[in-house]
Structure formats: C-alpha cells, structure tokens
C-alpha cells in the first residue's frame, strides 16, 4: 500500500474475473457448470431449469458425464472454461448473447467504484483486463460525474478488439486513463472465449502491454493465470530489459494453490532482477479499501469515496429478549446456555501426552467425554473405565461451568459436551478433535418420525441433500473410497453480557483426504473448489438467515427452552445436563 501511495501512476493493473466477483458476477466454474448443464439437458431430453448446479446429486451426475469425457477436458484444467463454451456455444453471436444475459443489470462493487474514482482522480493511468463486463467503465463514469473539484477530471478511454488504435497510444499521457480489454467487450461483435481464439488474440493489444512494461510496475488482481496467451504476453514482457521497474505484484486468495505457470513467471521476474511479490488477498474490495487509506485525495474525492461504504455504528446493547414483533434485523448464530452439568470427573495425569491418551481411550473403548490438558483429565463417563485409562482413580468434583472463568481443559470439556448433547438431539453425530467440536448431519435408516421431520427441514433450508459422497477426482479416504461430506456446524462457547452463548457456525464438512506418507508436496484439497462453490450463493443474507434459523429452531423447537441430556454412556443422572435458551441472539432496530 505504501509503495503504491508514493508512486501510484507508476503502476499498471491487470484485472481478472475475481475483481468482479463481489459485484455478483458468476465465477468461471459457475459459468462452466451452467453451460454444461445446458448440453446435458439437451442430450438427455431434460428440462434445463429443473437442474440446479448446487444440488450435489446434479453435480455428481455432471462430473461423472463431463469430467474428462464426452467432449470435455478434465475439470480444473487450464482450458475447461474455454472447452465448455466451445461445447455449448461454438457460435460467437450466441456466446455474446449469453454473456449479455449474465451481465444484464450488474452494478459496480465497492472496490470497483473506488478503482474508478482513483482513475478519474489521476491515480491510475493504465488498466488491462480479461473481463468482458463494463463495470469499471460504469464506476469511472459515476466518479467523473460526482467528483467535480478536480481541475481536469479525466474521462476513461477504452481499447478493445474493435478499437485497437487507442492501445497504440498507451504511452501517451493524453490517452490516460486507458482500459485495455484483451478478450473484447460484450457489446462488440468480437469476443475471445475459446483457447484457439485467445492464442491468436489481437497482437496490437498484447504489444501495447509489452510496450508499457519498461516504464511501470504491474499489479495483478483477480486473475487465475489460465490464459496461455496472456501468460505468454506477461512472460515476454518480463524478459525485456528493465521490465516492470516498480515491481511485479501478484495478488491471490490462496498462495498455496498458485498455478505452476504463475510461479514460473514470478521466478523469471526474480531471475531478471525484477522485484516480485506474491500477496495474499481475500477480495478486490479489501485491496481498494486499503489503497484509499494511503492515497492523498482532494476533499471532494475523499467525500465521494467515504460515501461509497456505509459507516459502521457500534453501540452498547442489552441482551436480546423474546418478542412477537417481526424483528430482529440481524439474527446471530448463538443460543444462550442456561444450565450445564454441575459435576465432572477429575484425575491427575503425568507422563501421558495427548496422543497416548487418545490411543489408550480407543483401546479401552471409551465412549464418554474426556479432555486431557495441563496435567489433568476432565470428563464425564464411567469412572472405573477412566481409571484404567489414566492409571489413577478419578474423583467427582463440583464445578460451575457457566462462570466464564474456566481453565482450558474445562472449557474444551464444556464445548465437547455440548456437541455430543446437541448431536444426540438432532439427526446428527458429533465429531470432536483437539481443536474442533463438530455436529455433522447424518441420515440413518431407522430415524424416528420427529428426526425425519427435522431432517426434511434441513434439506429444505439447504436446497437439497445434506449428506453424501464426493465423486471421482475429489480424492479418497483412508479406505480408498470416495470421501464423505455432510452439512455441519462448528461449535464453541463465548461469554457476552455476563452469560455464556453456544455459537454454531454452519459449514460443509468433508472427510479427511488420505495422502501417501512419502508425499511432502503442498496439501491442495481437490474438494476445495467444490466446497467454495457450494457456499457462494449461501452467503447472501436471506439464504444465510434461513440456514441459521433451521439450526436454531431444530435445536430449540417450538420456541421453548430445551434440556439436553449427556449421552447415556456419560451417566447423565449423575452429572446432569445442558439447558439452551430458545431464542438466538439478535439486534433490534435502532431508535
């Protein structure tokens, strides 16, 4: 941020699809799947609109039919997006109409509006993009109209496939700010989607980037590095003498998953003496928000940018109470813990680490709840069986688990006990590790009627199945079988307003990936993309709220406080159980 702030006009920018993600545009994988579903429906005589790409069953069928077969390259390969377009819409006019439909009604995101404002205010001169959309143009136009205190506000010039003459003037200050659209504009008659088209894409546009590489640095944001023509352009530019004098900066969400072609580019840059950086970045909006903190803007420009994002308001609030009104405005994923077991087993422990303790527990068939920490074992279960595990007789001690002043072992026991109790109440199973306490939804053949009803409510909230197995190509478990997955919640406990709250965070659990012991390569989970795509639409407020609601109301149905017993193996009559409040934490509308 500081390097940019002192020389902003010495940086050119390359923006990929990730820079438009927060504006609501589909990701490359979503476009690929939508196109392939159209082909699949046509070949099998199905109704396209009845096929939901987020449905695990549909995705499994799609993968089985297209992943490396039936005219499609393997999913995840560099040209799977291009191949899907060629398979579904080989005609250029059809591709253009399809993209127009995707882009219709889209508005610039916060980050794009900031970017547009920086362009018209004189902080950004040259931008290259692989995107078809016109969101940067919209953002620049809005800023040009809103910020009127600049003595010479700058209109944006665009060089695309039908206007390459503008790109020839890329080094001319009179042509700045300039946006170079390497793959074309969705409003043009020419677009570049297919691999063979991209390889021979307009030489003038590519040459313009090479020309500018000797006078500026380059910041790459939201670009995957999957286009052979673009990567070749960057490599040839980097090989020029005195290339990228302000450095090469590559921003990515997952540095560990960087394509080999990108790594090679950064290595070439370093070998040529170019300062090259790999920067972890969550979103384009985050980057723009950080840039404007360093930029020296005029008063009107600062006012405009500050007005793009609502100011946060933080105020003290009372604990939530039940109400018949239609609020809350914001509902939190937290239920109050009103009561907890009043006694626990305790035994001193020496010479046994956590791994050894878990091994002994497994050999003994321990089915209670126990946590080893700080030279002690805390738990609920059969005291004689625990004595055989630890080698000493445990004592039953009274304890207040809701005091908020618990040592780590007791806090972990509280969370694990809640996970076991909640799972026994739902159609679910608990899975606890040293770090996590998870509740995984599960389907048994002999579910009671009430649990079947609860399971149907979860399926409705999640728009489909809540358990299953991943298809081929997503890795195997330790039994060399397809990995299982389940919708789940991660539990922990926090104290607020002087009371404990059970926080439940929904996510999709995937069975551990089995790897060869001799394989020391970076761990790249082949299910990561599947899981991320699964949650893209779920992070919208309405969907997220319904998922929180189904967990809260399934744990505490009928808006009544619920008493949860410890599992029978923990002797709940001796130790007691938990009581959870019926109403999740929430905020009220401010006066």
Q: Which pLDDT score is estimated for 304? A: 85
Helix axes 56-66, 28-44, angle to 10 degrees: 80
For the chain, the farthest-separated pair of C-alpha atoms sits apart, in whole angstroms, at 86
Q: Is residue 520 a part of any domain in this protein?
A: no
Q: Is residue 459 a part of any domain in this protein?
A: yes
If asked whether residues 551 and 415 sit together in one domain, one would say: yes
DSSP state of 292: H
Q: How far is CA 181 from CA 108, 119, 439, 448, in A?
A: 17, 16, 47, 59
If asked whether residues 462 and 348 sit together in one domain, one would say: yes
Q: Is residue 176 a part of any domain in this protein?
A: yes
If asked whether residues 272 and 356 sit together in one domain, one would say: no
Q: Which pLDDT score is estimated for 250? A: 94
Q: What is the pLDDT of residues 276-293, one digit of tens each?
A: 999 988 889 989 989 988
If asked whether residues 302 and 342 sit together in one domain, one would say: no
Q: Is the pLDDT of residue 361 over 80?
A: yes
Q: What is the pLDDT of residues 116-175, one digit of tens each?
A: 888 888 888 889 888 878 888 888 888 877 765 455 556 777 776 555 555 555 556 666
114: nearest Cα among 78, 139, 87: 139
Q: Is the pLDDT of residue 426 over 90?
A: yes
Give the mean model confidence (pLDDT) for residues 7-23.
Answer: 86
Q: What is the pLDDT of residues 203-234, one digit of tens each?
A: 666 677 777 888 899 999 988 887 777 888 89
- CA dist 516 and 140 (Å) reads 52
Q: Which helix (H) or strand (E) holds 314?
A: none
Residue that the structure tokens 């990108």 belong to: 262
Q: Counting Cβ atoms within 10 Å, is residue 138 exposed (0-12), middle (13-18) or buried (19+)?
A: middle
Give the mean model confidence (pLDDT) for residues 46-68.
Answer: 82
Q: Where does a domain end: 306, 322, 351? A: 306
Q: Which pLDDT score is estimated for 415? A: 94
**Three-class SS string for 459-524?**
HHHHCCCCEEECCCCCCECCCCCECEEEEEEEEEEEEECCEEEEEEEEEEEECCCCCCCCCCCCCC
295: nearest Cα among 114, 110, 111: 114
| Cα angle for residues 395, 401, 403 (degrees, 5° grid) | 130
Helix axes 284-294, 110-120, angle to 10 degrees: 40
pTM above 0.75, yes or no: no
Q: Is the pLDDT of residue 3 over 80?
A: yes
Give the mean model confidence (pLDDT) for residues 528-550.
Answer: 81
- CA dist 18 and 344 (Å) reads 51
- CA dist 15 and 128 (Å) reads 6
Q: Which pLDDT score is estimated for 198? A: 40
Q: Which pLDDT score is estimated for 196? A: 46
Give the mean model confidence (pLDDT) for residues 189-206.
Answer: 49
Backbone angles phi, psi at 75, to 5 degrees: -60, 140
Q: Which residue has the higher pLDDT, 367 or 183?
A: 367
Q: Counting Cβ atoms within 10 Å, is residue 568 exposed (0-12), middle (13-18) or buried (19+)?
A: exposed
If asked whether residues 11 and 45 sit together in one domain, one would say: no
Q: Is residue 321 a part of any domain in this protein?
A: no
Q: What is the pLDDT of residues 260-271, one digit of tens each?
A: 889 999 999 999
Question: What is the domain extent for residue 184?
Answer: 2-22+109-306
Q: Is the pLDDT of residue 85 over 80?
A: yes
**Contact yes or no for 104/135 (Cβ under 8 A):** no
| Burial letters 504-531, b for 16+ CB under 10 A, else e | bebebbbbebeeeeeeeeeeeebbeebb
- CA dist 446 and 12 (Å) reads 62
If asked whether residues 286 and 353 sit together in one domain, one would say: no
Q: Which pLDDT score is estimated for 395? A: 92
Could you tell me the CATH number of the domain that includes residue 134?
3.40.50.1220
End-to-end CA distance of the chain: 39
Q: Which pLDDT score is estimated for 168? A: 58
If asked whether residues 7 and 37 sit together in one domain, one would say: no
DSSP state of 588: P
Q: Is residue 42 a part of any domain in this protein?
A: yes
Q: Where does a domain end: 87, 103, 119? A: 103
Q: What mean pLDDT, rounded, does the chain reach?
A: 82
Q: Is the pLDDT of residue 364 over 50?
A: yes
Q: Which pLDDT score is estimated for 550? A: 93
Q: Which pLDDT score is estimated for 587? A: 66
Q: Is residue 415 a part of any domain in this protein?
A: yes
If asked whether residues 87 and 121 sit together in one domain, one would say: no
Q: Is residue 329 a part of any domain in this protein?
A: no
Cis peptide leading into 526, omega within 30 of 0? no
**Contact yes or no for 580/426 (Cβ under 8 A):** no
Q: Which residue has the higher pLDDT, 585 or 345?
A: 345
Backbone angles phi, psi at 447, to 5 degrees: -65, 140
If asked whether residues 30 and 80 sit together in one domain, one would say: yes
Q: Which pLDDT score is estimated for 13? A: 92
- CA dist 66 and 474 (Å) reads 15
Q: Give the percent of the chain with pLDDT over 70.
A: 85
| Burial letters 335-366, b for 16+ CB under 10 A, else e | bbbbbbbeebbbbebeebeeeebbeebeeeeb
If asked whether residues 168 and 289 sit together in one domain, one would say: yes
If asked whether residues 51 and 17 sit together in one domain, one would say: no
Q: Which pLDDT score is estimated for 316? A: 55
Query: pLDDT band for position 188 (50/70/90)?
Result: very low
Q: Is residue 381 a part of any domain in this protein?
A: yes
The total of structural domains in the chain comes to: 3
**Three-class SS string for 116-172?**
HHHHHCCCCCEEEECCCCCHHHHHHHHHHHHCCCCCCCCCCEEECCCCHHHHCCCCC
If asked whether residues 351 and 246 sit together in one domain, one would say: no
Q: Where does a domain end: 47, 70, 103? A: 103
Helix axes 299-306, 110-120, angle to 10 degrees: 170
Q: Is the pLDDT of residue 489 over 80?
A: yes
Q: Which pLDDT score is estimated for 464? A: 84
Q: For 30-34, 147-151, 193-197, 316-320, which range has the lowest pLDDT when averaged over its residues?
A: 193-197
């Amino acid at each position: 941020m500081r390097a940019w702030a002192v020389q902003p006009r010495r940086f050119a920018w390359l923006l990929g699809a990730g820079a438009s993600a927060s504006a609501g545009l589909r990701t490359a994988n979503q476009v690929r799947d939508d196109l392939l579903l159209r082909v699949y429906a046509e070949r099998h005589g199905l109704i396209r609109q009845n096929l939901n790409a987020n449905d695990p069953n549909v995705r499994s069928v799609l993968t089985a039919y297209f992943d490396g077969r039936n005219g499609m390259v393997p999913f995840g390969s560099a040209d799977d997006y291009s191949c899907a377009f060629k398979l579904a819409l080989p005609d250029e006019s059809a591709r253009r109409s399809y993209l127009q439909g995707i882009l219709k009604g889209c508005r610039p995101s916060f980050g794009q509006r900031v970017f547009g404002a920086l362009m018209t205010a004189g902080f950004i001169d040259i931008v290259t993009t692989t995107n078809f959309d016109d969101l940067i143009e919209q953002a620049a136009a809005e800023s040009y109209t809103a910020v009127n205190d600049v003595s010479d506000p700058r209109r944006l010039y665009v060089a695309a496939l039908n206007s390459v003459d503008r790109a020839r003037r890329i080094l001319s200050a009179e042509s700045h700010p300039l946006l170079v659209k390497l793959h074309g504009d969705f409003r043009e008659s020419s677009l570049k989607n297919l691999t063979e088209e991209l390889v021979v894409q307009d030489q003038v546009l590519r040459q313009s980037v090479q020309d500018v590489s000797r006078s500026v640095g380059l910041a790459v944001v939201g670009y995957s590095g999957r286009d052979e023509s673009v990567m070749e352009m960057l490599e040839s530019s980097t090989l020029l003498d005195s290339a990228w004098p302000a450095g090469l900066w590559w921003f990515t969400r997952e540095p560990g998953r960087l394509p080999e072609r990108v790594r090679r580019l950064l290595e070439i840059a370093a070998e040529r003496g170019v300062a090259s950086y790999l920067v972890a970045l969550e979103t384009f909006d985050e980057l723009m928000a950080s840039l404007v903190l360093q930029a020296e803007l005029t008063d009107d420009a600062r006012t405009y940018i500050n007005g793009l994002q609502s100011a946060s308001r933080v105020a003290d609030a009372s604990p939530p109470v039940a109400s018949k009104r239609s609020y809350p405005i914001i509902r939190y994923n937290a239920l109050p813990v009103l009561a907890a077991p009043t006694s626990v087993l305790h035994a001193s422990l020496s010479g046994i680490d956590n791994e050894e303790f878990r091994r002994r527990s497994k050999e003994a068939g321990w089915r209670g709840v126990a946590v080893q920490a700080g030279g002690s074992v805390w738990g609920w279960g059969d005291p004689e069986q625990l004595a055989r595990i630890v080698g000493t007789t445990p004592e039953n001690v009274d304890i207040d688990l809701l005091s908020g002043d618990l040592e780590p072992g007791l806090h972990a026991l509280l969370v694990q006990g809640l996970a076991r109790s909640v799972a026994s109440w739902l159609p679910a199973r608990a899975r606890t590790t040293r770090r996590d306490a998870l509740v995984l939804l599960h389907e048994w053949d002999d579910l009671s009627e009430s649990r079947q009803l609860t399971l149907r409510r979860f399926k409705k909230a999640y728009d489909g199945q809540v358990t299953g197995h991943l298809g081929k190509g997503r890795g195997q478990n330790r039994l060399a079988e397809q990995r299982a997955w389940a919708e789940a919640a991660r539990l922990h406990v926090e104290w607020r307003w002087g009371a404990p709250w059970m926080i439940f965070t929904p996510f999709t659990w995937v069975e551990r990936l089995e790897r060869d012991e001799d394989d020391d390569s970076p761990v790249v989970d082949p299910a990561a993309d599947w899981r991320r795509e699964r949650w893209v639409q779920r992070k919208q407020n309405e969907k997220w709220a319904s998922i929180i609601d189904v967990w809260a109301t399934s744990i505490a149905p009928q808006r009544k406080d619920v008493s949860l017993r410890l599992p029978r193996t923990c002797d709940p009559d001796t130790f007691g159980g938990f009581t959870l409040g019926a109403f999740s934490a929430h905020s009220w509308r401010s006066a």
